[in-house]
């Protein structure tokens, strides 16, 4: 729950019922509060980092899909995005758990995620200096570089170090 050790970080996400999802990065969980700020639950195991489907390791981003209310958690230190349905049941993984890489199947310390009205998933792939545009397929997923260039970070317009992402 929410206590003196809870450190809510990053941008929160809100589902259609008004529940608010916060990253509790240092405690390896997502904290869920109702619209009044009362604790109603969490995702992940508090104080227990891990890489299976019920654990996170330093989650830094959370988003709710406007299409189907799926919950997307940026599981940064596990190099992946975990997808859960609106009942918080595991659905899919984007990225390869615990493996960094520069191809379109891997992330390198992702830090943000957002989903547009069409269901496209945008990931701030921080360590790869790019934003990936992804889609879920049954089975699997596809990602392509939307902006940025893996391995290149300088002052050019399209060379970036994305830490968060938002859409309007």
Whole-number Å distance between alpha carbons of 110 and 81: 8
Beta carbons of 60 and 112 less than 8 angstroms apart: yes
Beta carbons of 80 and 95 less than 8 angstroms apart: yes
| Average pLDDT over all residues of the chain | 93
Q: Kindly indicate the confidence band of residue 40, based on its pLDDT and cuts at 50, 70 and 90.
A: very high
Residue 153's pLDDT is 85
- Structure tokens of 57? 């390791």
| pTM for the structure as a whole | 0.93
Residue 7's pLDDT is 62
Beta carbons of 129 and 153 less than 8 angstroms apart: yes
Residue 134's pLDDT is 98
Q: Kindly indicate the confidence band of residue 11, based on its pLDDT and cuts at 50, 70 and 90.
A: confident
Whole-number Å distance between alpha carbons of 93 and 98: 12
Q: Kindly indicate the confidence band of residue 1, based on its pLDDT and cuts at 50, 70 and 90.
A: low
Residue 157's pLDDT is 79
């Amino acid at each position: 729950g929410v206590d003196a050790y809870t450190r809510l970080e990053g941008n929160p996400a809100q589902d259609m019922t008004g529940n608010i999802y916060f990253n509790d990065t240092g405690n390896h969980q997502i904290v869920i509060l109702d619209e009044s700020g009362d604790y109603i639950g969490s995702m992940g195991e508090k104080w227990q980092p891990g890489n299976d489907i019920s654990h996170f390791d330093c989650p830094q981003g959370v988003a709710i899909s406007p299409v189907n209310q799926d919950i997307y958690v940026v599981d940064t230190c596990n190099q992946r995005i975990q997808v859960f349905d609106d009942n918080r049941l595991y659905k899919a993984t984007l990225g390869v758990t615990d493996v960094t890489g520069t191809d379109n199947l891997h992330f390198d310390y992702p830090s943000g995620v957002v989903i547009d009205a069409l269901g496209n998933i945008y990931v701030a792939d921080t360590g790869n200096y790019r934003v990936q545009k992804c889609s879920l397929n049954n089975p699997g997923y596809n990602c392509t570089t939307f902006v940025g260039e893996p391995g290149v970070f300088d002052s050019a317009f399209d060379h970036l170090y994305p830490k968060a992402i938002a859409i309007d």
